[in-house]
Chain A
């Protein structure tokens, strides 16, 4: 037996002081008292001879004994004695359960997570019942599922509710987290890891020591060939086409020959037969011709023990088109300039066909007559030089006869010469661009700057059509995106909610713990990231020295020290109540009880 609140000396001193005080009160309660009474008539007859020698004696020893015993028992209850070993302080154990994406793999039997749950429950049943246990679910993040619970049934329920996530395991971080949790409790205990030990190569935390660490491994001899990443970008060489690049990897221990099939909206796009050595990656490229939106599906066959990375789908957005009406007297000269871009759908008309109510597209006017031009022509000059276009200045370019235009405040000058604007853009529901010279004349036909001028005109009409971008398929977890452009960066989910990120040396870093679709928008560029692949491991965790392996042998039936203070409190209260009933209440009842009236006989 040991005392939690009082040392033995303190207990004895307190008991002696209280006992002395109780005895003093007892004797004082029974000392002589002076009372004023109405008459001494009846006292004389009921008087007992005074025995002063008995004044200080205990006349109700049982009453005093009950009081003393009751008070001592209550004092003992306050001391909170316990039966057992005082040094068997309960441990604070942490169970790290591997919930990485790999735990959903299966060889032939149940998935790895089922085996891990079973091993975790076995470990929990072997933990001393007095220990407090915290469950930490570990993937890329260490997430505590319970606090330090003395009720192990709650931990069992949390273990049963654990499911694999979408990211790879960062075990060192999880162990460091467990150690910090134990340190906050100022207690020691065991950190038990249950899992396959497949971790990312880049661990956030440093190497941990193996003291107090237990590794309960889950066997995972599983062959897996899966998709590593994929990217879909607009073709740089072919308008209306997408360049699809798919990388596969063999995570198994043996070489595997697999088929990679790619389809778009249930139509086959291509297939590759690959033979992958253990740990090898191979990239396959495809070209997708699609201007409409659709679902790009990629699949690796045959199936293996980890089907989550055998198949993926990404949504390809529709390619935007620019419809434009060109008013020119010589459409044959201008047509090659616009037909070079498949995203531009041009309709050619002569200036005489111009009618304002027929506008349902943007319009480009090529050297319009002064009387028909939507922008007023100031004058016509012979051969101005030194055209200045946004981002381009060509002093040698010859324009021939050129109309100098008059701009209004809302107009934008896209190109100008020394005499004034020569290309003016006018905003509106349908935008209008007026070119004051003819690019098909002999002077300008072979100028290199002419296609750039028209590229600027088309970009101004509809910038989204010419915006660069693509779709990337990769695993959830940490994502790093190179940022070539300066300016604002915006990262949003499919539902429009913002995603926190950081930018370091033109590289955007963000983390997604679950499968998600993100959109990264920078100036002039939009990248879609489908983080739908599971994050895979890179290496097997090597337990440091001192790690205990396997389940503890046999159930630890060490029982905690038993609390006896409730029984002492009940006994003490019972003693005091018994004393009160026997000596206080009954005495008071005798005092207040009115005896039966005296039967009187009527004297006649």
Chain B
């Protein structure tokens, strides 16, 4: 029997969490995140002038008796904004990073299901994969876990194509959680900026191995790119290693800057770190969950 994606005890711990976002999105009624958009909610939001066709049940009759003008009470709607989880399934994620990403995506999906959010898990490499939509409570988690377990990694990452395809196929703005190593040779900063400009709230989770950040090898190396199979010969020593690490850290810092600049959040996750620590420490500190 295959090992479950997430064990029951860990899922029970996750029920304390809530996926958190800052922006208000126009969407369906429901959910737990307040919105500045008025609608048929329960909480009072504001008054506005009555216009023809408005619901008479929302007229503030007390104000009319005192001021002899019709004012309409507006109520704060609680929209159900779809939470999109983009999971990088490219070849560079192969191995521990992809397993870690699947578990992280499953954990966030479970958190959303518990809070009755609507979620979509979308794998991607050079193209968007078939999305898995889910919602309606924790009992809908089993299909999500099975879907994540069945995912395979492979292909080349192309954030430009992904951003274009995503914006054209999904006009609904919402919270966009991107789980990836963001190791695109062409860079992914501009593509992510497009998504932010489109109105999505970005939550970037960068997963990396220790050898992605500090390669342990020394001497003469023949490097092969896992996605493009491109080869490169390098003479690698401690000085080059330090330079490599510095470049990696700068790239991670640029991703963090991009996320924060667009009112999003960024979490750097080494695969050596426990998933529970990431969710209950790093994500909470970055206000990705609450």
A48 & B226 in contact (Cβ 8 Å cutoff): no
Stretch at the interface among A249-257, A460-468, A491-499, A585-593: A585-593
Residues from chain B with Cβ under 8 Å of A591 in the complex: 214, 216, 241
Is there an interface contact between A38 and B181, defined as CB atoms closer than 8 Å? yes
Q: Is the CB–CB distance between A600 and B247 below 8 Å?
A: no
User: Chain A residues near B219 (CB, 8 Å)?
Assistant: 30-33, 59
- Establish whether residues B240 and A48, one from each chain, have CB atoms under 8 Å apart when the complex forms: yes
Chain B residue nearest in CB terms to A52: B220
Prevailing SS type, chain A contact patch: loop
Asked if B276 CB lies within 8 Å of chain A CBs, one says no
Residue among B93, B215, B235 making CB contact with A37, cutoff 8 Å: B215
Closest Cβ neighbor of B240 among chain A residues: A46
Q: Are B251 and A42 neighbours in the complex by a CB distance under 8 Å?
A: yes
When chains A and B are docked, how far (Å) is the Cα of A32 from the Cα of B231? 13
Q: For A42, what are the chain B residues with a Cβ–Cβ distance below 8 Å?
A: 244, 247-248, 251
Is A51 within 8 A of B243, CB to CB?
no
9-residue interface stretch from B12-20, B36-44, B171-179, B253-261: B253-261
Picked from A30, A37, A41, A46, the residue with its CB within 8 Å of the CB of B226 is A37
Q: Are A46 and B260 in contact (CB under 8 A)?
A: no
Interface presence of B130 (CB below 8 A): no
CB distance from B256 to the nearest CB of A (A): 5
In the assembled complex, A36 has its CB within 8 A of some CB on chain B = yes
A133 CA to B100 CA, complexed, in Å: 74
User: Chain A 37-59 against B: per-residue CB contact (8 Å), 1 yes, 0 no?
Assistant: 11111111111111110010001
A184 contacts partner chain B, Cβ-Cβ < 8 Å: no
In which size bucket is the chain B interface?
A: 35 or more
* Closest B residue by C-beta to A42: B247
A34 at the interface (CB under 8 A from B): yes
**How far does the alpha carbon of A298 sit from the alpha carbon of B251 in the complex, in Å?**
117
Q: How far is the CA of A43 from the CA of B244 in the complex (A)?
A: 6
Of the candidates A31, A33, A45, A587, which one forms a contact with B243 in the assembled complex, judged by CB atoms under 8 Å apart?
A45
Which residues of A sit under 8 angstroms from B217, Cβ to Cβ? 33, 35
Assembly CA distance A592 to B241 (angstroms): 12
| Interfacial chain B residues near A45, Cβ < 8 Å | 243-244, 247
Q: Is B245 an interface residue (CB 8 A)?
A: yes
Asked if A61 is at the interface of the complex by the 8 Å CB criterion, the answer is no
A603 and B92 in contact (CB under 8 A), knowing A31-B220, A32-B221, A41-B185?
no
State the Cβ distance, A147 to closest chain B Cβ, in Å: 59
Q: Which of B93, B227, B243, B256 contacts A46 (CB 8 A)?
A: B243
Chain A residue numbers with a CB within 8 Å of B225 are: 36-40
User: Across the interface, do B252 and A35 meet the contact criterion of CB distance under 8 Å?
Assistant: no
Distance of B212 from chain A, by nearest CB (Å): 5
Q: Please, how many angstroms separate the alpha-carbon atoms of A59 and B218 in the complex?
A: 11
The 7 tightest CB contacts between A and B, nearest first, are: A39-B183, A32-B220, A46-B243, A46-B244, A38-B92, A48-B235, A598-B253
A residues in contact (CB < 8 Å) with B = 30-52, 55, 59, 587-588, 590-593, 595, 597-598, 600-603
Extra contacts besides A39-B92, A50-B233 (4): CB < 8 Å: A37-B225, A42-B247, A44-B232, A590-B241
What are 12 A-B pairs with beta-carbon distances under 8 A? Answer: A30-B218, A37-B211, A37-B224, A38-B226, A39-B92, A40-B185, A40-B223, A46-B240, A48-B236, A49-B235, A593-B214, A598-B249
